[in-house]
Amino acid sequence: NFITQITHRISFTFSIGYRHQQTTAKRVEEVEFDGPCMKTEVPGPRSKILAQQLEAIQSVVQVNFFCDYEESKGNYLVDVDGNRMLDVYTQIASIPIGGYSILYDPELFLGTFVNRPALGMMPPEQFSEKLVNGLMAVAPKGFSRVQTMACGSCSNENAYKAIFIWYRVRGQQFLSLVFSFFFQVPGCPDLTLLSFMGGFHGRTLGCLATTHTKAIQKLDVPSFDWPIAPFPQLRYPLGQFERENAQEEARCLEEVEDLIVKWNQKGRHVAGVVIEPIQAEGGDNHASFDFYRKLRGITKKHGCAFLVDEVQTGGGSTGKFWAHEHWGLDDPADIVSFSKKMLTGGYYQKNSFQPDKPFRIFNTWLGDHTKNLLLTEVIKVIKTENLLDQAKRSGKVILEGLYNLQDKYPHLLSRARGIGTFCAIDVKDEDTRNNLILKARNKGVVLGGCGTQSIRFRPALVFTEHHAHLFLDIFNDAIAELK
């Protein structure tokens, strides 16, 4: 099977001051378990004690359970109570090739903590070489520049700024610094960015103005008044609703164009459009590749920048390194943002989006160089082990399994959908969805929800057909218990 075929070794080399360290991570087949093993309900007693301790200094409302990362290996997450669970959630879709133990190599962590250069001002000698062999080696077609950042929100936030700067600077003079100092026009223009209902682009102030998933995320926070377009609500199974879905997409595209024209007319120009290739947090909402191709055409026609947010979809789980590569366009975007599986945040940008003056897009670290080093190794593994093909194969098993389950439980499950392993299914209501996630967890499978009633599947790229079958069996058992 796939696991025993893997023979790669990942070598990491770090310069720490004058020292040079070499550490070799364990081979994947040495660290794989043969299945989940549950000892307590989750969260277990140890998790609860730790949560009480943490509560003294931090909110713990988001804490599910505490993990023992040294014991966690391959596709399995072990909690502090010794429960070993097959991980189909991977820290909210952020682990590319599994193997928690690799992340917890103590020597690596030493490197991570003691050496974090300010990349914008004092980059290390190998900085560009590592970017070339890492991020640029997987750059989407047409991109020759990359800007690293820390997280997904930070990447989008800065990408938005890059768009506004581009919109003003193209062919124009560098506008009044004095006015901008007092946040007034023309220095600070009243430009806007169009986003979609159901989209999620982060929780920082600028990003939040384009995030439209749950009201709680926006509560009490002032926001920009920017145009919001409807995202197609496709009906499933797709084959049965071709005409209705095409009409729905045409309606949304028409609305996008109307909004751009109207907002331009009232002097609040739409500088850019931001969209995810699959609305992930919003409920794994898909649109056809044709929808995206037409949307790209509209942005070109009206001179808006096109920003594709691949924070959740990027990194290979759809079977292509970038989900938007499925659309089949030579020039699909002006900016592509990423984070999560890419280990570092950041965005690819067309040359014209690089600001013309220093310190316009800037922060202290601009990402984390050790993540760039790790990513270079991760990309090598993805390529040598053909993990994109693996994602296609495992995804096929997951999706077929989900189709079978929705046929078997039509009153409970519907709208199975996905590309590669980036799959989801809807449960009849929110409570039942949450209950199902808990049941699966107590049987040893970690899952996550999205939207109001969907379950999303976000395994790592080393998730094989074997893991997919194992997952489906356990998921089936959990569903059977719901009845």
Ligand X SMILES: Cc1ncc(COP(=O)(O)O)c(C=O)c1O
Cα–Cα distance measured from residue 10 to residue 24, given in angstroms and rounded to the nearest whole number: 6
Residues 265-304, interacting with ligand X (CB under 6 A): 276, 280-281
User: What are the φ and ψ backbone dihedral angles of 230, each rounded to 5 degrees?
Assistant: -75, 145
Q: Which of 73, 340, 350, 439 is catalytic?
A: 340
87 belongs to the binding site for ligand X (CB under 6 A)? no
Identified binder of ligand X from the candidate list 47, 312, 317, 406, rule CB under 6 A:
312
152 belongs to the binding site for ligand X (CB under 6 A)? yes
Q: Output the smallest distance, CB 154 to ligand X, in A.
A: 7
SS3 414: strand
User: What are the φ and ψ backbone dihedral angles of 99, each rounded to 5 degrees?
Assistant: 70, 65
**Which of the stretches 53-61, 118-126, 152-160, 393-401 binds ligand X when contact is defined by CB under 6 A?**
152-160
**Which of the stretches 175-183, 199-207, 393-401, 431-439 binds ligand X when contact is defined by CB under 6 A?**
199-207
Residue number, 248 or 309, with CB nearest to ligand X: 309
- Exposure string of 188-202, with b = 16+ CB inside 10 Å and e = fewer, is ebebbbbbbebbbbb
Report the run of H or E that residue 426 belongs to, with start and end.
Answer: strand 422-427
Report the run of H or E that residue 481 belongs to, with start and end.
Answer: helix 465-482
Closest CA to 328 of 371, 289, 275: 289
What is the chain's length?
483
Q: Output the smallest distance, CB 246 to ligand X, in A.
A: 25
Using an 8 Å Cβ cutoff, are 111 and 134 in contact?
A: no
421 belongs to the binding site for ligand X (CB under 6 A)? no
Residue number, 189 or 449, with CB nearest to ligand X: 449
Identified binder of ligand X from the candidate list 76, 200, 347, 471, rule CB under 6 A:
200
Q: Which of 200, 291, 306, 338 is catalytic?
A: 200
**Which of the stretches 120-128, 243-251, 308-316, 350-358 binds ligand X when contact is defined by CB under 6 A?**
308-316
311 belongs to the binding site for ligand X (CB under 6 A)? yes
DSSP string, 60-123: -TT----B-TTT-BTTEEEBTT--EEEESSHHHHT-SS--HHHHT-HHHHHHHHH----TTTS-
Is residue 192 among the annotated active site residues?
Answer: no
Identified binder of ligand X from the candidate list 79, 309, 368, 385, rule CB under 6 A:
309
Identity of the residue numbered 118: A
Identified binder of ligand X from the candidate list 83, 90, 153, 376, rule CB under 6 A:
153
SS3 193: strand
- Exposure string of 119-152, with b = 16+ CB inside 10 Å and e = fewer, is bbeeeeebeeebbebbbeebbbeebebbbbbbbb
Binding footprint of ligand X, residue count (CB under 6 A): 14
149 belongs to the binding site for ligand X (CB under 6 A)? no
Is residue 231 among the annotated active site residues?
Answer: no
**Which of the stretches 15-23, 82-90, 196-204, 447-455 binds ligand X when contact is defined by CB under 6 A?**
196-204
The DSSP output letter for 29 is G
Identified binder of ligand X from the candidate list 43, 74, 198, 202, rule CB under 6 A:
202
314 belongs to the binding site for ligand X (CB under 6 A)? no
Helix 430-442 × helix 465-482 angle, to 10° = 120
Is residue 364 among the annotated active site residues?
Answer: yes
Cα→Cα distances 366→110, 154, 311, 323, 371, Å:
20, 9, 16, 25, 11
Q: Output the smallest distance, CB 430 to ligand X, in A.
A: 19
The first and second tokens of residue 184, run together, are: 């007034």
Q: Which of 364, 384, 408, 431 is catalytic?
A: 364
Cα–Cα distance measured from residue 108 to residue 275, given in angstroms and rounded to the nearest whole number: 35
339 belongs to the binding site for ligand X (CB under 6 A)? yes
Q: Output the smallest distance, CB 412 to ligand X, in A.
A: 26
Residue nearest to ligand X (CB): 152
**Which of the stretches 230-238, 307-315, 361-369, 455-463 binds ligand X when contact is defined by CB under 6 A?**
307-315
Cα→Cα distances 281→412, 440, 450, 478, Å:
21, 20, 5, 23
Identified binder of ligand X from the candidate list 84, 130, 201, 269, rule CB under 6 A:
201
Residue number, 149 or 259, with CB nearest to ligand X: 149
Q: Output the smallest distance, CB 475 to ligand X, in A.
A: 23
Q: Output the smallest distance, CB 92 to ligand X, in A.
A: 6
For residue 108, count other CB atoms closer than 10 A to its CB. 19
Q: Output the smallest distance, CB 188 to ligand X, in A.
A: 25
Residue number, 12 or 200, with CB nearest to ligand X: 200
Is residue 39 among the annotated active site residues?
Answer: no
Cα–Cα distance measured from residue 263 to residue 195, given in angstroms and rounded to the nearest whole number: 13
> Which residues are identified as catalytic?
200, 309, 340, 364
Contacting residues toward ligand X, per CB under 6 A: 151-153, 156, 200-202, 276, 280-281, 309, 311-312, 339
